[in-house]
Amino acid sequence: MGWKVPLVVVMLLFGAAFVGAQTLDLPGPDQMGRCEEATFMLTFTADAAQTASAIVFTVTRPNANFTYVPSSAHITLHDGTDVAAEPTSSGLDLVWDLYAILGTAYELPPGDTVTVEFALATWCNTISGTLEARVDFDAGSLYDSQPVEILPGAVRITKTPSQIQAHVGDTVTWTITVENTGLGPIRNVVVTDTLGSGLSYVDSSPPGTPVDQTVTWELGAIEAGQQVQLELRAEVVACEGLNNSADVRFGCDDGSICYDTAVDGGTATASIHLLVDNPLLEFTPPDIQIPYCDPDGTTVTMTITNAGAGPATDVRLEVNFPAELSIQNVVHPASWDGTYFHLPDLGAGESFDLTFDVVYTGDWCASGPSGNLYWQAIYENLCGEEFRPPAVFSTYGTSYDTTGPPSLLVDLSGDNQVYICTEHSYDLNVSFSGLDVCSNGSTSNIQVVVDVPQGFVVTDSGGGTWTPGGDGTGGTITWTTSPDTALDTSIGLRAPGTVQCGEVATLTATATATDCCGCELSASDSIDIAIECYQLVTFTREASPRAQEKCGTITYTNTFVFADDPALDNISFDELTFTEAAANDQDYVEGTLSITIDGNPADPIDVVDGTPGGTFEIQGINDTSSVRGKTLVISYEMAFTASSQPTSCPSSYTFYDWASLNLGPDCSTGEECTEPCQATEVLSITTTTPSMDVSITGLPDDFVDPCGTYDVTITLTKTSDYDPHNVRLQLENLNYCIVDLASITCSGICPADLTPTDFGSY
């Protein structure tokens, strides 16, 4: 935008040069704009008393940018004859030789007038100057001149408002103002407005001509000081390419351009300040329950709502369904590609119901569907910016009717310590619970089998069928019952004789069936039975405590009450051998052995200590009297060792600890169901390790900030009856660090030094 003021050179040649009374006048405009045409006239009047002949007119242009307008010149003779007369050009001169033009000699009568009328044009670079004229004739020459001032035009273009706040889809309006700020008119004015790629032309006033992204107006001429306003409307169709520029140019009729803001400067610009309303998708995924053994699976419907202020596009829902879950029958327009649900775009406030079927394709008999699902929504706003709100979690599993999953229960109860040849009753309960009928059928009858240990004789089969082993003992007892009828019975067993004295036998009950899905059901229960012997000695054992921590000791008290029977007359205390099995790698505690006979202390003859790992044996008591009718008490302490079970924390372990008293070589063996030469007794002992619980608070349940700092509380809690020893808290595989070791505090039972040792872990 701008204009140029040419140097004005005014040459005034006042008055005509007079030869006698002849005159030459050059009337015409003294001001012209650029790209303009103006008419000038040469008027030659002859002397009133003299004829003029050999007339030649010469006009000298101020500069080369004043150009003659072709075919504009004509000569009017004294008699009114009008003759078209193109001049002869020579440099800046335009020459009209009347003889050459008329083709014959011409004489201007005295006092008459001949005129030459012609037009000159200005251009973009024309500057002010003086137009000079001369007429030559037979009597001499005359002169005249006309100064012409060039009034340049200038242009300014503005666009308002310079910035508009708008959303995608809004229609915006700009006003384009084109103003002539120069001294003269501007012509062939053309305005162009180029819309960015994110804008689409709607209309304009006055109407422009849109081609692609450019709108053009041809305004013609604008006088100095005048302005023209244009109104343009466009739609915001994208989030980018929202700039807009307008330019104006003007020039001459031949297409030459005097000024173009696109080239010379002055482009008017405007833009859109985009208002983006972002979406926010909300949904609560259901916990999916698939009916047991149903080939059609289950139908899931969940609602996704856009609670944000703007539309959500390219909506995807990522779910980590395992391979054995097949997603089928997704209701259009949603779809599933194996990783994502693809949903339709959701406007602000809109909701969409996602409906699909989930079918379990795995082996129902191996394991039913169960696990966690991770749901991640992914979507974009209108500008293509991606959003990933925090993931949501749900579960999937198997549904049954109100009775629950198909299962069998076996409960076997009774004595776990028996004397040889005694009879005992064992209660057996077998029941079915859960879903009885499903798509593949119903539950089969239940087969129940009790495995009777060898040596035991069935005295009551409890309504079952006993099939003894080859020696007439042991074998199996079998029943068949329906799922809706529980088996509730008792069986009778007679213990073996002396040949199995000191052994442990296992009584096992097993139930099997096929459920409605064709899957095998099985359940069992068992009892370990310690077989003890009858003897002429009543042997009782006590352990204090019966349950002890692994680091502790147990006091065993063994009391032998000898019968007042002549069979014992020849058996003396120095012949006795006491053996402690010291099971589970127990270790005898030195100095804890105590022996009394009828309350009086006694000493051992020889002690053989093979613990841990072997037995603890007393070979004879330093007393030669008969054992008949007397009471012997042997007590001592056993400690658990590092190799004792259990070997891990927390845990527990139950074992049998045996002890026996051999009555020596003077004892005679009795019948099958008595054994007077050896007294055997067993105890069930449980050893446990301390247990603790560790809990951590202060961290978010789901996600943590990658650069976040959190106050974390770690709580150690004793959950057993025994105190843990040498407790060490170790943090491993850390992807974080303790910010300030000096900030660690402790309450409760605390170590003397709270500073952790860093071995790559704390």
Which structural domains are found in the chain, ordered by start? Answer: 23-151 (2.60.40.740), 155-274 (2.60.40.1530), 281-399 (2.60.40.10), 417-531 (2.60.40.830), 533-688 (2.60.40.740), 693-762 (no CATH)
DSSP secondary structure of 724-738: --S------S-SS--
d(CA 371, CA 397): 7
d(CA 304, CA 352): 5
pLDDT at 449 over 90: yes
**Of 365, 356, 370, 372, whose CA–CA distance to 293 is shortest?**
365
What is residue 703's predicted lDDT score, i.e. its pLDDT? 57
**Of 618, 616, 645, whose CA–CA distance to 633 is shortest?**
618
Angle, alpha carbons 165-169-173 (nearest 5°):
50
Alpha-carbon separation of residue 155 from 34, 228, 264, 411 (angstroms): 13, 11, 11, 105
**Beta strand segments in 265-388, E:** 268-274, 281-282, 288-291, 298-306, 313-319, 325-328, 335-336, 340-343, 351-360, 371-380, 386-387
Give me the chain's average pLDDT, please. Answer: 91
Angle, alpha carbons 458-462-467 (nearest 5°):
45
Enclosing H/E stretch for 263 = helix 261-264
pLDDT at 305 over 90: yes
Contact by Cβ (8 Å): 55, 106: yes
Alpha-carbon separation of residue 42 from 100, 128, 164 (angstroms): 18, 20, 60
Sorted by sequence, the CB contacts under 8 Å of residue 355 that are 6+ apart come out as: 299, 300, 301, 330, 331, 334
Q: Which of 77-91, 175-189, 231-245, 695-709 has the lowest mean pLDDT?
A: 695-709
Mean pLDDT calculated for residue range 520-542: 90
What is residue 11's predicted lDDT score, i.e. its pLDDT? 33
DSSP secondary structure of 600-622: EE--BS-EEE-TTTS-EEEE-BS
Tell me which of 759 and 206 has the higher pLDDT. 206
Model confidence at 694, in pLDDT bands (50, 70, 90)?
confident
Token readout for 361 is 């394709």
Q: Which of 113-122, 189-198, 292-301, 496-505 has the lowest mean pLDDT?
A: 496-505
The torsion region of residue 559 among left (phi > 0), alpha (psi -120 to 50) and beta comes to beta
Quick one: what percent of the chain has pLDDT higher than 90? Answer: 78
* Phi, psi (rounded to 5 degrees) for 100: -65, -35
Contact by Cβ (8 Å): 698, 713: yes
Q: Which of 51-60, 348-357, 367-376, 703-712 has the lowest mean pLDDT?
A: 703-712
Q: Which of 162-166, 540-544, 695-699 has the lowest mean pLDDT?
A: 695-699
Alpha-carbon Rg for the chain in angstroms: 61
What is residue 18's predicted lDDT score, i.e. its pLDDT? 40
Q: Which of 59-68, 117-126, 268-277, 717-726 has the lowest mean pLDDT?
A: 717-726
What is residue 735's predicted lDDT score, i.e. its pLDDT? 61
Model confidence at 272, in pLDDT bands (50, 70, 90)?
very high
pLDDT at 10 over 60: no
| Amino acid identity for residue 581 in this structure | A
pLDDT at 19 over 80: no
What is residue 706's predicted lDDT score, i.e. its pLDDT? 63
Mean pLDDT calculated for residue range 375-392: 95
Contact by Cβ (8 Å): 186, 37: no
* Residue 262 DSSP code: H
Token readout for 112 is 């008459």
pLDDT at 3 over 80: no
Contact by Cβ (8 Å): 298, 325: no
Largest CA distance in the chain: 201
Mean pLDDT calculated for residue range 665-681: 71
Token readout for 254 is 């031949």
pLDDT at 598 over 50: yes
What is residue 672's predicted lDDT score, i.e. its pLDDT? 66
Token readout for 17 is 């040069």
**Of 306, 313, 300, whose CA–CA distance to 344 is shortest?**
313
What is residue 697's predicted lDDT score, i.e. its pLDDT? 80
pLDDT at 691 over 90: no
The burial class, CB within 10 Å (0-12 / 13-18 / 19+), for 318 is: middle
pLDDT at 721 over 80: no
**Of 685, 674, 686, whose CA–CA distance to 532 is shortest?**
674
pLDDT at 131 over 50: yes
What is residue 5's predicted lDDT score, i.e. its pLDDT? 33
Q: How much is the pTM?
A: 0.58
Contact by Cβ (8 Å): 163, 144: no
